[in-house]
Amino acid sequence: MNKGWKSGRVGELIASLESGISVNGVDGTPSNDDYAVLKVSAVTYGKFNPQASKKITGSELQRAKCIPKKGQIIISRSNTPELVGASCYISEDYPNRFLPDKLWQTIPHPEKKVEHKWLAYFLASPWARFRLSSLATGTSNSMKNITKSELLTLPVPIPPFLEQKRIASFLECWDNAIEKTEALIAAKEKQFEWLTSNLINRAGHKRKPTSSLMSEVSKRNKNSGIERVLSVTNHSGFVLPEEQFERRVASENVSNYKVVGKGQYAYNPSRINVGSIARLDNWENGILSPMYVVFKLDTTKVCSDYFLHWLNSSEARQRIKNSAQGSVRETVSFKDLGAIDIPLPAMEIQKGVTYKLNLAQREISLLNKTLKQYRIQKRGLMQNLLTGEWQVGNSHPEAEEIRKEGIT
């Protein structure tokens, strides 16, 4: 262990750990001025959301204690397996919020100097998270609990106060980089929507019903030659059901299933209103439940990528949704879909639009990759810094270099 570091327990670093009251609360989102008790969901790793709370009244308000205050850490003692032990640093006072009995707050020690930001990072570190989640009891797979004594006796390598501050500010830099990247991605996504809208939907192109571009493909899996059963989900398009579910959910006999080939589109008529429609890109072929509609495009009239961009635009999604609402079961038949019209300029223009949109999309996916890298690197950094394997300081060129990368 590094010079000046001591091994200790979480309990030594704080005066006490207190939990709030057991209440029922009132449904409905409280305003910032209402007295309210936090929901357990207000705390996730590193993030505090005071909006996640319920209004309280009368007798409950009188019993209420434990107000989140600046400099404290709030910890989840009873939660789902993923979130049990989750904690966050409180950076301002919340005078009209109270803790429920399922959350703890740390009361800082009056004499000992401890940087609570550092402690919060420690509690959120991969190591501490792992320890806490393995200490959690509870046989049900939906709710786990941590006891007070287990948290208080959790071992922690304690650096000197100054080092605590350095570690905290270093990791804060990293968090900033992550936040900035997230914000940038959000902005780029907004821009992408705007671009789609302006290049396709509001560009004044002549519109044509999509039925003039699409033709249904109803090839059946006659001799059961294809075994790859696929589903179309609203968030990831084509997926293998076994990745989504434990078991394969298809029927025994798949000879009546519909065959879909690469580049073709498919949707489930009763799920399309929530966005379950996609183009098959990742596999050569696959089979789908007979209820699906499979279609292909006439690529002499429309560029497939252009069509896909249009299909993913908020305007097209809305129109599909509207067309579903007319029917009793909220389904969209192939005929219904064909009745929607698409702005369709000449092929050259379609290609130009597609080029621009693909470029913008690639930029977003690159930023997402970067973000993912940042998160992985932050995990590693936490591990190394909080255990004292690396020291933060001017003396450490490697750490300094990484810090610079994190900022830019």
Partner DNA sequence: TGCTTGGATAGATAGTGGTT
Partner DNA sequence: AACCACTATCTATCCAAGCA
CB of 109 to DNA, least distance (A): 19
153 forms part of the interface with DNA (CB under 7 A): no
Single out the segment in contact with DNA by CB under 7 A; choices: 109-117, 183-191, 239-247, 366-374.
239-247
7 forms part of the interface with DNA (CB under 7 A): no
Give the one residue of 223, 300, 325, 328 binding DNA; rule: CB under 7 A: 328
CB contact at 8 A, 287 and 259: yes
Compute CA distances 276 → 105, 271, 290, 293, 406, whole Å. 43, 6, 15, 11, 38
CB of 93 to DNA, least distance (A): 22
80 forms part of the interface with DNA (CB under 7 A): yes
CB contact at 8 A, 51 and 89: no
91 forms part of the interface with DNA (CB under 7 A): no
**DSSP letter at 110?**
S
264 forms part of the interface with DNA (CB under 7 A): no
CB of 142 to DNA, least distance (A): 4
333 forms part of the interface with DNA (CB under 7 A): no
In 3-state terms, the chain is what percent helix, strand and coil (to 5)?
40, 20, 40
Give the one residue of 289, 323, 361, 391 binding DNA; rule: CB under 7 A: 289
77 forms part of the interface with DNA (CB under 7 A): yes
Between 18 and 305, name the residue whose CB sits nearer to DNA.
18
The C-alpha atoms of residue 181 and residue 333 are separated, in whole angstroms, by 41
DSSP string, 223-271: T-----B-EEETTTEEE-HHHHSSS--S-S--TTSEEEETT-EEE-TTT
The C-alpha atoms of residue 328 and residue 252 are separated, in whole angstroms, by 31
276 forms part of the interface with DNA (CB under 7 A): yes
Between 55 and 165, name the residue whose CB sits nearer to DNA.
55
The C-alpha atoms of residue 183 and residue 147 are separated, in whole angstroms, by 37
Residues making contact with DNA (CB under 7 A): 18-19, 22-25, 39-41, 52, 54, 63, 77-80, 82-83, 101, 137-140, 142-143, 145-148, 231-235, 239, 241, 244-247, 249-251, 268, 271, 274, 276, 288-292, 328-329
